[in-house]
Amino acid sequence: MTHRTCQAIILAAGQGTRMKSKTPKVLHKIAGLPMVGHVSSAALNAGVERVALIVGPDMDAVLQEAQKKHPSVIACEQTERLGTAHAVLAARSELAKASDDVIILFADTPLLRPETILAMRDKLAEGFEVVVLGFRTDAPDPYGRLLQQDGKLVAIREAKDCTDEEFKVNFCNGGIMGFSGAHLLGLLDEIKNDNAQGEYYLTDAVEIANARGLKVTAIEADEAELQGVNSRAHLAKVEATFQTRAREEAMANGVTLTAPETVFFSHDTKLGQDITIEPNVFFAPGVTVGDDVTILANCYFEDAIIGEGCSIGPYARLRPGTVLEKKAKVGNFVEIKKSLVEEGAKVNHLTYIGDARVGAKANIGAGTITCNYDGFSKFKTDIGKGAFIGSNTSLVAPASIGDGAIIGAGSVITDAVNADDLAFTRAKPIVKPGWAAAFRSRKSKEKK
Ligand code: UD1
Ligand code: MG
């Protein structure tokens, strides 16, 4: 295929009233990323050079969110919401720059794959001027119908404008369309709003293109890929489809999921090979897991890097800024935030590590707490290589424990401890010989 230029127009100006939300619909998230981000990623991964987002007058947040992931995305404002063709025309100045191909995408259809956009571009390269993405479904009710004659796409009819016969058609419009850049503006300018909803329908471009003798075709995609989100129930359905895809991909790439349906990935989770993940594990955005890692049941991770051969959980929480180097061990009821746990270090039980470095092969005893916050500021704790922190220790930051130092159990450490020193704070035990036995015998006599 010769190289053709391509721009994408993403429609995002719709109100999304059925979401019943203060947040614009396309900012609702699938796998931790707003829907609009999924769609702009798909466009850019399909080799589109320019992306214009059509937003309503009150939707700065949508553009900001889209630009967070892709700074090159620009916005065009649709001042009134008069239909999908009217929305595309809001990008008239962009369209005037005339790319060879223009792909129209919906920001509320986030599972579309770059491969499918490429298949549409292939059709445009073959010489079709209009390409429509369709799908077959058992429940076509709300969708526009793709009307074909002798295998040719002749029109798209919105459900509300269908005759009884047309309404029975189950080949539906996914909403996504591809156009030859040379013809799009001419087609859009001819679209009228004489239909059941009084809107300018992009879908009318098909009949107009046929009347002009242009080549029009439909390609079929998977129904799940074209699921649009109009309600919270659709959002959950699309999330479920995303997760099924992500789990299948993880397993295909060498990850064992003991109970796949209970593990939830983010849009950007990166997994190595020979990882085992037990049930009920949640990956929020920004997590990378190296090879040969074992994740036991019931863990939550966010913005964390887990090095090769680590073992984590059950019941561990890694918060943003956590880095576990090779073969580190993090056990049950441990929370780690913004900390580096160096190679082979162990944090096995009931511990909070925040704003800290845990040196290589250090051992952190059960119930250790880095006291990193005084109610106003955060302070750091530095634990040296091979240090041993006894159980139930509070390290009051700023704290520094030298390499190989030992801290006795039950200590509150407020001063720096040098390498290889022992430090502990301890009240002397008071021992009263035989007191417990005498107490029990007195109490049991009183009871009689
Ligand atoms: C549209 C299609 C329908 C298709 C269905 C697939 C048209 C006329 N109909 O219907 O054939 O089966 O999608 O899901 O295209 N938008 C704007 N400005 C507007 C109106 C809409 O930006 O003035 C945006 C919305 O934010 C949304 C997209 O366009 O991202 C589609 O609009 P929506 O109202 O959801 O169209 P449907 O009725 O679903
Ligand atoms: Mg819709």
Atom of ligand 1 nearest to the CA of 173: 12
* Cβ of 81 less than 6 Å from ligand 1: yes
Q: What is the pLDDT of residues 258-297, one digit of tens each?
A: 999 999 999 999 999 999 999 999 999 999 999 999 999 9
37 and 100 both lie in a single domain: yes
Nearest CA to ligand 1 atom 16: 14
Atom of ligand 1 nearest to the CA of 25: 26
Residue type, 139: A
Segment (H or E) for 244: helix 232-252
Residue 400 sits in a domain of what CATH number? Answer: 2.160.10.10
Report how far ligand 2's centroid is from the alpha carbon of 269 (Å).
Answer: 29
Which residues have CB under 8 Å from 400's CB, separation 6+?
A: 381, 382, 416, 417
How buried is residue 120: exposed, middle or buried, by Cβ count under 10 Å (0-12/13-18/19+)? buried
Tokens of 360: 């290589």
Ligand that comes closest to the CA of residue 171? 1
- pLDDT beneath 50, residues of the chain: none
Q: What is the DSSP string of 68-92?
A: HH-TT-EEEE-SS---HHHHHHTTH
Is residue 442 assigned to a domain? no
Is residue 209 assigned to a domain? yes
Is residue 418 assigned to a domain? yes
Identify the pLDDT of residue 419.
Answer: 98
How buried is residue 52: exposed, middle or buried, by Cβ count under 10 Å (0-12/13-18/19+)? buried
Ion ligand 2: residues, CB < 5 A: 228
* Cβ of 225 less than 6 Å from ligand 1: no
Taking the whole predicted model, whether its pTM rises above 0.75 is answered as yes
Q: Which residue has the tokens 């526009």?
A: 144
Report how far ligand 1's centroid is from the alpha carbon of 313 (Å).
Answer: 45
Report how far ligand 2's centroid is from the alpha carbon of 14 (Å).
Answer: 9
364 and 418 both lie in a single domain: yes
Is residue 440 assigned to a domain? no
Identify the pLDDT of residue 3.
Answer: 84
Ligand that comes closest to the CA of residue 87? 1
160 and 251 both lie in a single domain: no
* 3-state SS, one letter per residue, for 318-335: ECCCEEECCCCEEEEEEE
133 and 263 both lie in a single domain: no
Atom of ligand 1 nearest to the CA of 107: 30
CB atoms within 10 A of CB 384: 21
Q: Where is the domain boundary, 226, 253, 277?
A: 226
Q: In whole angstroms, what is the distance from residue 81 CA to residue 371 CA?
A: 54
Nearest one of 204, 195, 139 to 169, comparing CA atoms: 139
209 and 119 both lie in a single domain: yes
Q: Where is the domain boundary, 196, 226, 256?
A: 226
Residue 83 sits in a domain of what CATH number? Answer: 3.90.550.10
196 and 289 both lie in a single domain: no
204 and 240 both lie in a single domain: no
* Cβ of 394 less than 6 Å from ligand 1: no
Our mutation pick for probing the ligand 1 site, out of 39, 84, 109, counting the most ligand atoms within 8 A of Cβ, is 84
Residue 349 annotated in active site = yes
* Cβ of 397 less than 6 Å from ligand 1: no
Is residue 445 assigned to a domain? no
Q: What is the DSSP string of 168-205?
A: T--EEEEEEEEEEHHHHHHHHHT----STT----GGGH
190 and 250 both lie in a single domain: no
198 and 302 both lie in a single domain: no
213 and 239 both lie in a single domain: no
Identify the pLDDT of residue 289.
Answer: 99
Note down the domain range covering 265: 232-423
Q: What is the pLDDT of residues 202-228, one digit of tens each?
A: 999 999 999 999 999 999 999 999 999
239 and 222 both lie in a single domain: no
Q: Where is the domain boundary, 186, 210, 226?
A: 226
Is residue 295 assigned to a domain? yes
* Cβ of 402 less than 6 Å from ligand 1: no
Q: How many domains does the chain have?
A: 2
Is residue 150 assigned to a domain? yes
Ligand that comes closest to the CA of residue 205? 1
267 and 399 both lie in a single domain: yes
* Cβ of 87 less than 6 Å from ligand 1: yes
* Cβ of 309 less than 6 Å from ligand 1: no
* Cβ of 423 less than 6 Å from ligand 1: no
Ligand that comes closest to the CA of residue 55? 1
